[in-house]
Structure 1
Amino acid sequence: GDDAEEELETQLEPVPLPLAGAQRMFIVQPRAGDLKQRRAAELQVAEAVALVNTLHNWTVVDKIILPTKNLDQKLIFGKGNFQILTEKIKRLPQATAVFLNLERISTLTKKELEDAWGVNVFDRYTVVLHIFRCNARTKEAKLQIALAEIPLLRSNLKTEVSHLDQQRGGSRYIMGSGETFLETQTRLLRERELKIRNALENLRRKRSILRAQRQRREFPVISVMGYTNCGKTTLIKALTGDAGLQPQDQLFATLDITAHTGYLPSQLAVIYVDTIGFLSDLPHDLIGSFSATLEEVAHSDLILHVRDVSHPETVQQKASVLSVLKNLNLPSHLLDSVIEVHNKVDLIERYEPAEPNAIAISALHGYGLEDLKEEIERTVLKATGKKILTIKVNLTGPQLSWLYKEATVQEVDVMPDDGTASVKVIISESVLGRFRKHFPQ
Structure 2
Amino acid sequence: MQSGAAPSLTTTSFLCDQKELYGLCAMLSRWLWRAVRASPSVIIPSRVPRCHGHLMPLMARDRLHVPRSRTVWSSTPCWQDRPPGYWDGNEREDWIAMEEEDLLGDEEDDDENELLVSQAPTLQGAQYIIIVQPDVKWGPSKPRDTTADLMLSEAIALVRSVPDWVVVNSLIVSTKTPNNKYIFGKGNLQYLTEQIKYYPHATAIFLNVERISSSTEKVLEAEWGTKVFDRYTVVLNIFRLTARTREAKLQIALAEIPLLRSNLKNETAHLDQQGGGSRYIMGSGETFLEVQQRLLKEREQRIKKALEKLRKKRKLIRSQRKKREFPIISVIGYTNSGKTTLIKALTNDPRLQPRDQLFATLDVTAHGGLLPFRLPVIYVDTIGFLSQLPHNLIESFSATLEDIIHSDLLIHVRDLSHPEYVNQKKSVLAVLSGLNIPQRLLDSMIEVHNKTDIVPNRESDEGGFRVSALIGSGLEELKKRIETAVLESTGRIITAIRVNLESPQLSWLYKEATVLEVNVLPEDGSADVVVIITSAAYGKYKKLFDT
TM-score range, shorter chain: 0.7 to 0.9
Aligned to 1:183: 290
Partner of 2:131: 28
Counterpart position of 2:416: 309
> Is residue 388 of structure 1 aligned with residue 388 of structure 2?
no
Amino acid at match of 2:424: Q
**Other-structure match for 1:437:** 543
Cα 1:74–1:162 shift into 2, 3 Å: farther
Name the structure, 1 or 2, with higher relative contact order (CA <8 Å, separation 6+): 2
Separation (CA, whole Å) in 2 of partners of 1:318 and 1:337: 16
Q: Which residue of 2 aligns with 1:250?
A: none
Distance in 1, matches of 2:300 and 2:306, equals: 10
Secondary structure of 1:58's counterpart equals coil
**Separation in 2, partners of 1:425, 1:194:** 50
- Show the counterpart of 1:45: 152
Q: Is the 8 A contact 2:131 2:155 kept in 1?
A: no
- Taking the aligned partners of 2:435 and 2:318, their CA distance within structure 1 comes to 16
**Partner SS for 1:216:** helix
- 1:17 aligned residue: 120
> Do structure 1's residue 64 and structure 2's residue 152 form an aligned pair?
no
1:233 is aligned with what amino acid?
Answer: T
Deviation sequence 1:400-431 (CA, Å, 0-9, x none): 33222222223434445555433332211122
The residue matched to 1:276 in structure 2 has which SS?
coil
Asked if structure 2 preserves the Cα contact closer than 8 Å seen for 1:230 and 1:307, the reply is: yes
Pair 206,342 (structure 1): closer, same or farther in 2 beyond 3 Å: closer
> What letter is aligned with 1:427?
I
1:371 aligned to 2:474? no
1: CA distance, partners of 2:317 / 2:529? 35
**How far, CA to CA, are the matches of 2:245 and 2:435 in structure 1?**
17
Q: Distance in 1 between matches of 2:321 and 2:376?
A: 18
Runs of 5+ in structure 2 lacking a partner?
1-108, 354-361
Give the counterpart letter for 1:345 in structure 2. Answer: T
Amino acid at match of 1:387: I
Match of 1:249 in 2: none
Residue-pair matches, total: 418
CA distance 1:422–1:87, change in 2 (3 Å): farther
1:428 to 534, 542, 545: 534
Task: From 412, 431, 450, give the equivalent of 1:324.
Answer: 431
Structure 1 stretches lacking a partner, 5+ long: 1-5, 247-254
SS in 1 for 2:323: coil
Give 1:321 shift. 1.7
The aligned counterpart of 1:295 is 402
Paired residue secondary structure (2:147): helix
Mean Cα displacement is larger for which, 323-332 or 281-290? 281-290
- Per the alignment, do residues 301 and 53 of structure 1 end up closer, same or farther by CA in structure 2, a change over 3 Å counting? farther
Q: Helix, strand or coil for the counterpart of 1:189?
A: helix
- The alpha-carbon distance between structure 1 residues 187 and 32, as it changes in their structure 2 partners (threshold 3 A), is same
Equivalent position amino acid for 1:421 in 2? A
TM-score by length of 2: 0.63
Q: Distance in 2 between matches of 1:149 and 1:68?
A: 29
In structure 2, do the counterparts of structure 1 residues 112 and 411 end up closer, same or farther at CA, with 3 Å as the change threshold? farther
Per mean C-alpha deviation after superposition, the further-off stretch among 106-115 and 61-70 is: 106-115
8 Å Cα contact 1:114/1:121 also seen in 2: yes
2:515 aligned with 1:409: yes
Kindly report which structure 2 residues correspond to 1:206-217, keeping only aligned pairs within 5 A, or say none: 215-217=322-324
> Which AA in structure 2 matches 1:220?
P
Contact 2:307 2:399 in 1 (8 A): no
Partners of 1:219 and 1:418 lie apart in 2 by 34
Question: Comparing 295-304 with 219-228, which one deviates more in the overlay?
Answer: 219-228
Distance, in Å, in 2 between the alignment partners of 1:365 and 1:119 is: 45
CA contact (8 A) 1:303 1:337 kept: yes
- Cα-Cα RMSD: 4.3
* Structure 1 residue 240 displacement after superposition: 1.9
Residue 260 of structure 1, CA deviation: 1.9
Return the offset for 1:318: 1.8
Worse overlay, 71-80 or 374-383:
71-80
Range with greater deviation from structure 2 (264-273 or 76-85) = 76-85
Question: CA 1:202 to 1:177, structure 2 compared with 1: closer, same or farther past 3 Å?
Answer: same
Distance in 1, Cα, partners of 2:256 & 2:344: 34
Residue 151 (1) aligns with residue 254 (2) = no
Is contact 1:104-1:124 (8 Å) kept? yes
CA contact (8 A) 2:368 2:377 kept: yes
- Cα distance change, pair 10–135 in 1 and its aligned pair in 2 (3 A): closer
How far did residue 385 of structure 1 move? 0.9
Distance 1:206 1:293 in 2: 11
Between stretches 346-355 and 430-439, larger displacement belongs to: 346-355
Q: Is 1:221 matched up with 2:336? A: no
- Please report how far the alpha carbon of residue 340 of structure 1 lies from its aligned counterpart in structure 2 after TM superposition: 1.5
What are the residue-to-residue correspondences of 1:249-268 with 2, within 5 Å? 257-268=364-375
What is the match of residue 334 of structure 1?
441
**Aligned residue in 1 for 2:44:** none
The one-letter amino acid of 1:29's match is: V
Q: Is the 8 A contact 1:52 1:59 kept in 2?
A: no
CA contact (8 A) 1:23 1:97 kept: no
